[in-house]
Amino acid sequence: MNKLSGTTGILGIFGDPVAHSLSPAMQNEALARAGIDAVYVPFHVRPENLPQAVTALRALEIRGVNVTIPHKESVLAHLDEIDPEARGIGAVNTIVNRNGHLVGYNTDGIGLLRSLEADLDVVPAGRRILLLGAGGACRAALASLIRAGAAWVGIANRTRSRASDLVDEFSEKGAGTALAAFGLDAGELSIPLGQLDLVINTSAVGLKGEAFDEFPWDSLAAGAAIYDMVYAPETTPLLATARSRGYRTADGLGMLAAQGEEAFYLWTGIRPPSGVMKRRILAECIER
């Protein structure tokens, strides 16, 4: 890590929880390798404190932050400007402080697409994909998959109405991509599984060791791949089950690194050294 001084810039991440985040490790490694005088720190921000935390970015001259669960959607109301892509997604994961003018971006979509290709050899064009969850990460995934030409995207959520709302909203933007909404109960969810190419968990399920207990594995197409945006030192229950059944899998580490590289560029105007972020978070997972 760079030596701290009175000129050291501050970057960080807002989340609740945030102690598990690997972003500080990978961003500080990249900053040091690039010779940038800045430090990246985690900020535990509870939902009721989000407005004050965003205001503090200006007062403390913090250069920018990442935004993670559960703030990606609610933070939009507190920013001065939203990048058009992030506005279309309806979620922000990166804030840039430009002399007190706070601009929101979303780098999750490009991070997901890069990781799917690198880690699973999956390009979404023409594919049938199911998203689990209907929050901010789902919105970014949905927008990116539509833009990449997916043939069909289903959204399955415990509260089915949230999935239906996303289908209604994005149907106008998704020419060429058929959309459908589902609940998470096994009976309803089994309907599309036999024709799927890919299942992506966009929810926080698995972050604390939870599992999708009712997922109807026996209905899932044999050639499907499973991607979990959640990452864990060992593995998530979703991926553990998928691997035991012979499915190709990948966790969210590749996406984390790729979206982090884009955020780094937005903050600094410099591309981070190639591969540094992913190598550092892989090492962190081994140490943990």
Distance CA 287, CA 225 (A): 27
| CB-CB neighbours of 190 under 10 Å | 17
Domain of 186, in residue numbers: 109-251
Q: Cβ neighbours of residue 218 under 8 Å, at least 6 residues apart?
A: none
pLDDT at residue number 3: 80
Which CATH number does the domain housing residue 278 bear? 3.40.50.10860
Tens of pLDDT, residues 162-203:
999 999 999 977 678 999 999 988 888 888 899 999 999 999
Query: How many folded domains does the chain comprise?
Result: 2
Both 38 and 17 in one domain: the answer is: yes
Query: What is the model's pTM?
Result: 0.87
Specify the DSSP class assigned to residue 114.
H
Q: Is 1's pLDDT higher than 60?
A: no
Cα 16 from chain centroid (whole Å): 15
For the beta carbon of residue 228, count every other beta carbon within 10 angstroms.
Answer: 26
Residues 283 and 193 in one domain: no
Contact between 1 and 39 under an 8 Å Cβ cutoff? The reply is yes
Position 2 in a domain:
no
Query: Are 118 and 201 members of one domain?
Result: yes
One domain for residues 147 and 246: yes
224 with 267, same domain? no
Q: What CATH number is attached to the domain comprising 192? A: 3.40.50.720
Catalytic residues: 72
Please tell me whether residue 196 adopts helix, strand or coil conformation: coil
Bigger pLDDT: 206 or 180? 180
Burial 100-120 (b: 16+ CB within 10 A, else e): eebbbbbbbbbbbbbbbeebb
Q: What is the pLDDT of residues 76-122, one digit of tens each?
A: 999 999 999 999 898 899 999 999 999 999 999 999 999 999 999 99
- What pLDDT is attached to residue 235? 85
Which pLDDT score is estimated for 199? Answer: 97
Say what the pLDDT of residue 216 is: 93
User: In the numeric block, which tokens belong to residue 125?
Assistant: 């064009």
CA distance 193 to 244: 18
